[in-house]
Amino acid sequence: MTEASNSGAASRERVGFVGLGTMGVLMAANLARAGFALTVWNRTSGRADELRDLGALEVASPADLARQCDVVVMCLTDAPQVEAVLFGPDGLVEGLAPGSLVVDCSTISPTRSVEFAARLASRDVSMIDAPVSGGTEGAKLGTLTIMVGGESEDVRRATPVLGAMGKSVTHLGTIGSGQWAKAINQVILAGTYLAVAEGITLGLRAGLDVEKVVEVLNGGAASSWVLANRSGRMIEDTYPLGFKISLHRKDLAIALDLAREVGAVLPVTAMAATLEDGLIAQGYGDDDNSALARQVRRLSGL
């Protein structure tokens, strides 16, 4: 395991960032603040204003971005979007020079990561997968945990860039390894969110001061990031966006597919996926994924 710290000294490589969503725009801002020569692109306009103020250049297409960059970071929704940005009309491959490096911080299937890396390798372009964990808080503060798969030389090259966005950068193995770790991360989170939601609901039904209960539990064996950072939303029954429940459901689909491939049984994950399906059908797909508590509360008459 390697801990990557941001010394504030950017490498000389020109960096591009594609995908300025809830997480991406915060991650790109940290690259700009670290001093990287940054070029950005997003499918929809209006997301790059702060980045331009920080010195970033906004361009009209992924191909335009690639022509100006040595290292390109992607933070996109799913594998079809990654494929379109890489290989579609005006995609990155139209501008990437031989020797360029693509760093994919999207959460997609490891199989697709391997496929995309092979297609890029045929053009003498390298790729690593580097999905992240830590929510919008971690993206804003630059304290994300980044799980990396790829060749060691490519990971070393990307480390200054990743270190500007995250506190912990861990190289886990060959391409796709980071995506496997992210799938496991989402499986564990699904169970933790459900468990915290059940505990909060039990406390509310018992008439306890649940905020005090949470304070006590955070000092003991039940402590977790979810309990510390998302229990308040569950108590208040309001779920402002941190990470969309629809995106978490997409990630659980990846994990469940991988489980079937290797013969693992994930009953808690399957239950969480079913509850999330219900929330999405009710129009709550854009809520934070702590909204799993909404289902547990309603089933308990709250």
Cβ neighbours for 149, distance < 8 A, ≥ 6 positions apart: 110, 113, 128, 129, 130, 171, 172, 173, 174, 175, 176, 177, 178, 179, 180
Task: Please tell me whether residues 127 and 240 are part of one structural domain.
Answer: no
Query: Quick check: is 10 in a domain?
Result: no
Render each residue's pLDDT in the chain as its tens digit; 302 residues: 444 444 444 567 999 999 999 999 999 999 999 999 999 999 988 899 999 999 999 999 999 999 999 999 999 999 999 999 999 999 999 999 999 999 999 999 999 999 999 999 999 999 999 999 998 899 999 999 999 999 999 999 999 999 999 999 999 999 999 999 999 999 999 999 999 999 999 999 999 999 999 999 999 999 999 999 999 999 999 999 888 999 999 999 999 999 999 999 999 999 999 999 999 999 999 999 999 999 999 999 99
pLDDT value at residue 241: 82
Task: Please tell me whether residues 207 and 265 are part of one structural domain.
Answer: yes
pLDDT value at residue 3: 43
Contacts of 273-278 spanning 24+ positions with Cβ under 8 A: 273/190, 273/249, 275/194, 276/245, 276/248, 276/249, 276/252, 277/249
pLDDT value at residue 10: 54
Query: Quick check: is 1 in a domain?
Result: no
Task: Please tell me whether residues 149 and 72 are part of one structural domain.
Answer: yes
Task: Please tell me whether residues 155 and 47 are part of one structural domain.
Answer: yes
pLDDT value at residue 242: 81
Query: Quick check: is 25 in a domain?
Result: yes
pLDDT value at residue 18: 98
Query: Quick check: is 246 in a domain?
Result: yes
Nearest to 33 by CA among 62, 19, 53, 12: 53
pLDDT value at residue 153: 98
Task: Please tell me whether residues 194 and 237 are part of one structural domain.
Answer: yes
- Pick the catalytic residue from 182, 212, 244, 250: 182
Query: Quick check: is 19 in a domain?
Result: yes
Q: What domain range is 119 assigned to? A: 15-173
Task: Please tell me whether residues 229 and 169 are part of one structural domain.
Answer: no
- Number of domains observed in the structure of the chain: 2
Active site annotation includes 182: yes
Task: Please tell me whether residues 136 and 155 are part of one structural domain.
Answer: yes
Query: Quick check: is 8 in a domain?
Result: no
Task: Please tell me whether residues 38 and 129 are part of one structural domain.
Answer: yes
pLDDT value at residue 280: 97
